[in-house]
Structure 1
Amino acid sequence: MWQGLPCAEDGQVTETITGLYLSPLELCAVLSALALIAARWLPPIARPRTTIAAGTAFVLSAIVLGVAGMRWQMLPVLGGAALALPFAVAALLRRRDGRPARRARWWLALPGSTACVALIASGPVSAWAFPVPVFPEPSGTFAVGTRVMQWTDPHRPESFTADPHDRRTVVVQLWYPAKPSLAGAQRAPYLGRTQREARIVSDALARYAGMPGFLLNDVPQARTHAVFNAPVAGRGGRFPVVLFSPGAGGVRTQNTAWAEELASHGYIVAALDHPYDSAAVVLADGRTITTKLTSTGDRDKDERLGAGWTAVRAADLRFALTQLERLDRGEATGPLTGRLDTGRVAVTGHSMGGAAALQAARQDRRFDAVIDLDGYPHGPLSPSLHQPTLALTQAITSETDPRYLPRLTKALRLGTATSYRLTIPGAAHLTFMDAPLYLPPMPSLVGTLGRTESPRVVAAATLAFLNASLRHETGDLPGVLSTYGDLSVQRPGRGG
Structure 2
Amino acid sequence: MKKLTRVAAAALLACAVALPAATTATAVAATAADVPRADRIAATGPDRPAGRMAVPAPTGAYGVGSSVLHLVDRSRTDPWVPAADGRELMVTVHYPSARPAAGGRTPGRPAPYATRDEARLLLKAAAIEDPASIRRLERARAHSAVDVRPAPGRHPLVVLSPGFGMPRFTLTALAVDLASRGYVVASIDHAYESSGTSTPDGRVLTCVACTVMEESGWTEGALVSATRAADTRFVLDRLTGPRPAWRYASSVDRTRIGMAGHSIGGASAATAMASDRRIDAGVNMDGTFWDAPPADGLGGRPFLLLGTDGHRPGGEDTSWDSVWAALGGAKHWLTVDRADHLGFSDAPVLFDHFGIPGGGDLPAGRAVAVTRAYVAAFFDEHLRGREQPLLDGPDPSHPEVRFHRP
- TM class by shorter chain equals 0.7 to 0.9
Match of 1:186 among 109, 113, 124: 109
In structure 2, what is the equivalent of residue 323 of structure 1? 238
In structure 1, what is the equivalent of residue 151 of structure 2? 233
- Within the alignment, does 1:359 sit opposite 2:359 as a pair? no
CA apart distance, 1:159? 2.1
The superposition leaves residues 147-196 of structure 1 with CA deviations (integer Å, 9 ceiling, x where unpaired) of 00111223212222243x721121110000002279873321111xxxxx
In structure 2, what is the equivalent of residue 446 of structure 1? 359
In structure 1, what is the equivalent of residue 20 of structure 2? none
Match of 2:49 among 104, 113, 127: 127
Query: TM-score normalised to the size of structure 1?
Result: 0.65
In structure 2, what is the equivalent of residue 172 of structure 1? 91
In structure 2, what is the equivalent of residue 205 of structure 1? 122
The superposition leaves residues 260-299 of structure 1 with CA deviations (integer Å, 9 ceiling, x where unpaired) of 1100000010000111112212222222111112368989
Residues 55-66 of structure 1 aligned to structure 2 (within 5 Å): none
CA apart distance, 1:353? 0.6
2:66–2:92: 8 Å Cα contact kept in structure 1?
yes
SS in 2 for 1:294: helix
CA apart distance, 1:252? 1.3
In structure 1, what is the equivalent of residue 78 of structure 2? 158
Aligned length: 353
In structure 2, distance between residues paired with 1:380 and 1:257: 30
The superposition leaves residues 76-109 of structure 1 with CA deviations (integer Å, 9 ceiling, x where unpaired) of 9xxxxxxxxxxxxxxxxxxxxxxxxxxxxxxxxx
SS in 2 for 1:259: helix
Which of the pair has more CA radius of gyration?
A: 1
Percent identity of paired positions between Structure 1 and Structure 2: 29
In structure 1, distance between residues paired with 2:388 and 2:350: 35
In structure 2, what is the equivalent of residue 261 of structure 1? 177
SS in 1 for 2:112: coil
CA RMSD in angstroms, aligned pairs only: 3.1
The letter of the residue matching 2:309 is: A
SS in 2 for 1:156: coil
1:144–1:178: 8 Å Cα contact kept in structure 2?
yes
In structure 1, distance between residues paired with 2:303 and 2:291: 17
SS in 2 for 1:173: strand
In structure 2, what is the equivalent of residue 463 of structure 1? 376
1:389–1:412: 8 Å Cα contact kept in structure 2?
no
In structure 2, distance between residues paired with 1:481 and 1:153: 44
In structure 1, what is the equivalent of residue 35 of structure 2? none
Match of 1:391 among 292, 297, 305: 305
Moved over 4 A (4+): 181-184, 295-300, 441-444, 480-483
Query: Do the aligned partners of residues 224 and 297 (structure 1) sit closer, same or farther apart at CA in structure 2, a change above 3 Å counting?
Result: closer
CA apart distance, 1:137? 2.0
Query: TM-score normalised to the size of structure 2?
Result: 0.79
Residues 423-434 of structure 1 aligned to structure 2 (within 5 Å): 423-434=335-346
2:120–2:129: 8 Å Cα contact kept in structure 1?
yes
2:378–2:388: 8 Å Cα contact kept in structure 1?
no
In structure 1, what is the equivalent of residue 12 of structure 2? none
SS in 1 for 2:266: helix
2:240–2:249: 8 Å Cα contact kept in structure 1?
no
In structure 2, what is the equivalent of residue 56 of structure 1? none
The superposition leaves residues 219-252 of structure 1 with CA deviations (integer Å, 9 ceiling, x where unpaired) of 2221121001111113xx2100000111111111
In structure 2, distance between residues paired with 1:172 and 1:153: 13
In structure 2, distance between residues paired with 1:456 and 1:180: 24
Structure number with the higher helix fraction is 1
CA apart distance, 1:486? 0.7
1:205–1:249: 8 Å Cα contact kept in structure 2?
no
- For structure 2, the residue ranges without an aligned partner over 5 or more in a row are 1-41
In structure 2, what is the equivalent of residue 81 of structure 1? none
- Within the alignment, does 1:220 sit opposite 2:138 as a pair? yes
In structure 1, distance between residues paired with 2:370 and 2:289: 23
In structure 1, distance between residues paired with 2:86 and 2:213: 30
In structure 2, distance between residues paired with 1:445 and 1:381: 33
Match of 2:329 among 410, 417, 420: 417
1:308–1:379: 8 Å Cα contact kept in structure 2?
no
The letter of the residue matching 2:222 is: A
In structure 2, distance between residues paired with 1:293 and 1:152: 18
Query: Do the aligned partners of residues 297 and 311 (structure 1) sit closer, same or farther apart at CA in structure 2, a change above 3 Å counting?
Result: closer
2:380–2:388: 8 Å Cα contact kept in structure 1?
no
Match of 2:402 among 466, 473, 486: 486
SS in 2 for 1:253: helix
Relative contact order higher in (CA < 8 Å, ≥ 6 apart): 2
